[in-house]
Structure 1
Amino acid sequence: MNAHRDLPTLKTLDEVAVRLGDGEGVYVRWSRDPDADLDTSSSSDELTGTPLPGLSANPLDVEPWWGERPIRIWVARRLHDYSHLPRVRGDDVRPWLLRGREAGRGPDNEPLVRDAEPLAWIAPDVIEEATREITEQPGPWGPLQRYP
């Protein structure tokens, strides 16, 4: 049995935002299985196959320039940016929170995280909630368009 399949599941943007208050070094990773990720402790560059010195992840820590804006919108934006990954990599790719330390940067300037500690799964409903939150914001917000 995979121990991390039993991770708690965060079911709202607010629940994810609360986890950010637990300290620094919180990331979201989109993958099939934290256990498999932790077995290898590294990602590889999709273009060249080069092994990377950590797991590719996206930081969720709130940047100082965000100011007094709602953390809920910060979380929505960060999750929405990569919400295309299940469509590109397969329906079994899911977001999960982890804490770790940055060991470098990947080819897309993403953090490469070592000593990863899985914290929680993020429910699909949270991604839908993030999309609604971003859609309601003024201006031309949208996910990164890296794939057709």
Structure 2
Amino acid sequence: MPEEPSALDGLPRLRRLAEVTELAAVVHPLYVRFSGGPDQDAAATSRDHESGCLLPGLSVNPMNPEPWWDRPVEHWVARQLCQYAHLMTPERFPWLLTGTVAGRGPDCEPLLVDVVPAASVDPAVVEEAGRLYREVFDAGDDGT
């Protein structure tokens, strides 16, 4: 029996950090999510794991830098990919999307509705982002 078509079918699969950075430069707003993909997310209800509260949208990370960001866009993108890289498993992968912010989650992350998938991100990009992150940031420095 053939597999059901996926919402990611026909979308680009980004294989380099530079490709993700280029997309973030032209698509606003752009977000990243680590999950089983848009089809799985559409069939589930998002919950805050600690409280059990229903969330009004999908938890995402912004890929477009804030106006105060005075470093290369690639640094922002790498940092955002690394923030939730611990969620990546064989069943959960990074994908890029856009949509409407319906609220904020418990970590103040945007919660999206009216989601439109933009691309999938190869796990090798997260590894590349991790190398850049360690090279250009003082990871774990809290300023004290």
TM-score by length of 1: 0.84
Q: Does 1:95 align with 2:94?
A: yes
SS in 2 for 1:64: coil
Q: Does 1:36 align with 2:34?
A: no
What is the match of residue 113 of structure 2? 114
Inter-partner Cα distance in structure 2 for 1:52 and 1:34: 16
Matched, 1:104 2:107: no
Q: CA RMSD in A?
A: 1.6
Normalising by structure 2, we get a TM-score of: 0.86
Match of 1:76 in 2: 78
Residues 33 and 94 in structure 2, CA contact (< 8 A), matched pair in contact too: yes
1:20 is aligned to 24
Q: How many matched pairs?
A: 136
The one-character-per-residue Cα deviations of 1:18-66 (angstroms, maximum 9, x if unpaired) are: 11122322110110121121244x5211112221111111111111111
Instruction: Name the residue aligned to 2:138.
Output: 140
1:38 and 1:116 in contact (8 A); partners too: no
Whether the 8 Å CA contact 1:56–1:110 is kept in 2: the answer is yes
Query: Are the aligned partners of 1:53 and 1:103 in contact in 2 as well (CA < 8 Å)?
Result: yes
Where does structure 1 differ by over 4 angstroms across 4 or more consecutive aligned residues? none
Q: CA deviation at 1:132?
A: 0.8
Paired AA for residue 30 in structure 1: F
Q: Distance in 2 between matches of 1:23 and 1:122?
A: 15
* Structure 1 runs not aligned, ≥5 long: 143-148
